[in-house]
Amino acid sequence: MALREYRRKRDFSQTSEPAPSTRAVGKRPIFVVQLHHARRRHFDFRLQVGKVLRSWAVPKGPSFDPSVKRLAVEVEDHPLSYADFEGDIPAGNYGAGHVDCFDRGIWSTDGDAAAQLRKGHLEFVLHGKRLHGRWHLVRSHRKEKQPAWFLIKAQDEYAGNGEADDLLGDAAAPPSKRKVPAKKAAAPAKSMVAAKGKAPSLRGISERRKESIHAGFFSPALTQLRDRLPEGDDWLHEIKWDGYRILTAVADGEVRCWSRNALEWSGRIPGIVDAVRSLGLRSARLDGELVVMEGGRSDFAALQKTLSGERRGELTYMLFDVIHVNGEAIDQAPLLERKALLKALVGRAKAAHAKLLGYSEHVVGHGDEMLAMVMKSNLEGVVSKRTTSPYHAGRSGDWLKIKRLESDEFAVVGYTQGKGSRQGFGSLLLGRPAAAGGWDYAGRVGSGFTDSQLKQIGKALDGAKGGAQPTVHADTVDPLLRQARWIKPRAVVEVYYRGMGGNGLLRQPSLKTWREDKSVASLRDADRASRSAKSRPKRANEPPSVRGITITHPEREVYPGITKLQVAQYYDAVMDWFLPGVRGRPLSILRCPEGTQSACFFQKHPMAGMKHVEQVMLKEGSGAKRAYLCPTDGASIIELVQFGVIEFHPWGAMAASPDKADRIVFDLDPADDVPWERVVSAARTTRRLLERLGLASFVRTTGGKGLHVVVPLRPAAAWTEVETFAKAFAMSMAQAQPEEFVAVSAKARRRGRIFIDYLRNGRGATSVASYSLRARDGAPVAMPLRWEELGKLAGGAAFDLRSTVARLKRLRRDPWSEMASMKQSLAHAMRVISQHS
């Protein structure tokens, strides 16, 4: 197919998918397999043939079993740049949903690939991180709307009984017959370091030195607040961006972003991380502000809503300094030289990332004109920097900030006497109209007056008659008010200030002007109009909050008849029972942002906007480290629910020791034709056989058809031991009772039997948490049980959102309460198995 079909189906102003462009064709053709959580979840299998990616949608994903033919529906060709695409395709667009990379690498075939495809049979070899060996694509003879093919694994040393879904956990160990990917498979990650042409030139930098750095936090330069801009051409002036300060460190191609307070933000802003990575820097230190632009200016409220997930906004990393590039420190070079280099660096960003990186422009001199522009445009303020200054951590005086001041009008309700040489008065006492009549005290202003104003206003105050004291907030502490002279309000002043304090008083007020054109009555009229507008009924109630987390769209149906707020309230109600099973563990989540009747997708990495969910950096199969979700408290759980999370799937290990498993999970998954009574019997058999090996176990429903039998390990064991044991145990059960159990996942072999799924016991693999909801009809719950309860249940989905809360109110203790103190290891069990093998 031509790329015109690809273009026709997409609006590139709405989707971040790459537009067709010329991309250099490598010496060896690439392949990519992407997991696409669209309306129907499927895998997209793509092979480079010539200058395009020939593409097939594989609903169930590749199977490693040569006897299984997987349907592969041919779709439009994609550009080569699509191999790098991951992320969300917005709702309303073709293929809307989330796209993750499952595997990528190179592939080969004997002969002409295009000719083989025309004949209807392509035999090829994959060299990926997960997929290896020989494969076949065979065209179906059935007539379909779209050409149908079959993807089949060849019988070779990489064949086995696994499925693509078995490998979805990061670094999940493949079946023993599959080989570990060769080191060459990691090459695409290294290519990011050398992306986009030659290294940036440092020829224009006068002061530089060799320096090795790490990707950790570095202390930022800080500004000092001033009332006036400095004058002269020794200073440059930038817009003061209204956002979050972000410091970025790059080392050996690894990009990490930090807040001003040394909190890592890499996992919260993955798009920014990718954009910085696209600059192709081996090492760097960058300084800037994270903003959302609205109407030509940075909008802090829009930034907060974007980060919290309440709205969709475009994040921009507005860069204003660079202090290290590719092994050379340039922090002592003059600022103008550093900014010239920075501007060139930002221009190197790939087209897909260009909108995410901005360069903070400046003017040299002309401070008054800059301030006038800022005031007229209602911008946050101005940052002035000495043009020749090096980069100093802390407040050196080389960076100054001048904020735009708010102003408002107030009645003069009193004054204090001047002291020393001060003529006329010390300060004016200000009031605003009170709701019940009278005045509320708003603070005092004693700066911004000229000598002539002091004299003129002083004379006016001398003739003022006494008035009642305004209402003063109970938290106000101001000794000068004891000597205050209260007067009847007659005059109006306009005052600059920097926000309001918690006691309702103006912060840092200074006089703007004496408003001879305004009357006190006009202040009351304006106040009445404002209160009238505020008293009108609101169109919508304030959104509710759970554990301090605001729940937006609380009325949205997550399940038929069950709202988003009810889901949050469920997790709040069961939190004491639920949290111990997920706290401190790396986590995969199932998100259903539009409800369970729409697209849902798994996610394991943090998203922009999370404030309460902790993250942990873990090494993946490629050797690179990435941030993983790791909840620690109730607020973090509710925040995830606010982001549309329904299901929680923790690792079988703690984040503090990710290479040691502290539990084993056997998932008893029955075929559709297996009655519940046999599942219960299978769980009891599993328990009995484990006890013979000296291992106690616990049982829970899955919220689906089956049961989990869970074995705690104290002390924790290495994953290699756990995988070996779990596989051996499952295989022995299948061999002992082949009519009852099967230890392979192929659906064709499972008919009438129960699949003992042992593949959840690998590093990065997950299983559903106890008390987690499931994204299935009826809002079922994965429920821990006492073994003696098992025979009383009607099925694996016996408990739902409502009945679970009622059950927990009746229980005196958790059915799994003994698990935390139980001590048992695999050592004895492995010895017993080895004696009988």
415/483 Cα distance (integer angstroms): 9
Question: In sequence order, what are the beta bridge partners of 399?
Answer: 385
Which tokens go with 608?
Answer: 């922009």
Q: What DSSP state is assigned to residue 90?
A: P
For the beta carbon of residue 166, count every other beta carbon within 10 angstroms.
Answer: 22
Q: Is the peptide bond between 20 and the residue preceding it cis, with omega within 30 degrees of 0?
A: no
Q: What DSSP state is assigned to residue 498?
A: S
32/104 Cα distance (integer angstroms): 4
713/824 Cα distance (integer angstroms): 6
Cβ 146 vs Cβ 94: under 8 Å: no
Q: Is 567 helix (H, G, I), strand (E, B) or coil?
A: helix
Locate tokens 């009642």: which residue? 468
Cβ 85 vs Cβ 68: under 8 Å: no
Q: Collect all residues with Cβ–Cβ distance below 8 Å to 802 and sequence separation of at least 6.
A: none
**Stretch (H or E) spanning 750:** helix 747-750
User: 41-49 and 30-37 as β-strands: parallel, antiparallel, unpaired?
Assistant: antiparallel
Q: How far is CA 673 from the centre of its chain?
A: 41
Task: Please name the amino acid found at residue 604.
Answer: K
With CA atoms as reference, report the closest residue to 155 among 73, 60, 72, 68: 68
- For the CA atoms of 255, 258, 264, 266, the dihedral, rounded to the nearest 10 degrees, stands at -40
31 by Cβ neighbours in 10 Å (0-12 / 13-18 / 19+) ranks as buried
C-alpha distance from residue 678 to each of 265, 666, 702, 706 (Å)? 49, 16, 16, 10
Question: In sequence order, what are the beta bridge partners of 711?
Answer: 664
Q: How far is CA 453 from the centre of its chain?
A: 55
Compute φ and ψ for 255, nearest 5 degrees.
-110, 125
429/484 Cα distance (integer angstroms): 8
Q: Collect all residues with Cβ–Cβ distance below 8 Å to 20 and sequence separation of at least 6.
A: 3, 6, 7, 79, 81
Q: How far is CA 575 from the centre of its chain?
A: 23
The verdict on whether 240 is a catalytic residue reads yes
**Stretch (H or E) spanning 105:** strand 97-108
Q: Which of 153, 240, 339, 350 is catalytic?
A: 240
600/603 Cα distance (integer angstroms): 10
Helix, strand, coil percentages in the chain from 3-state DSSP, rounded to 5: 25, 30, 45
Active-site residue set: 240
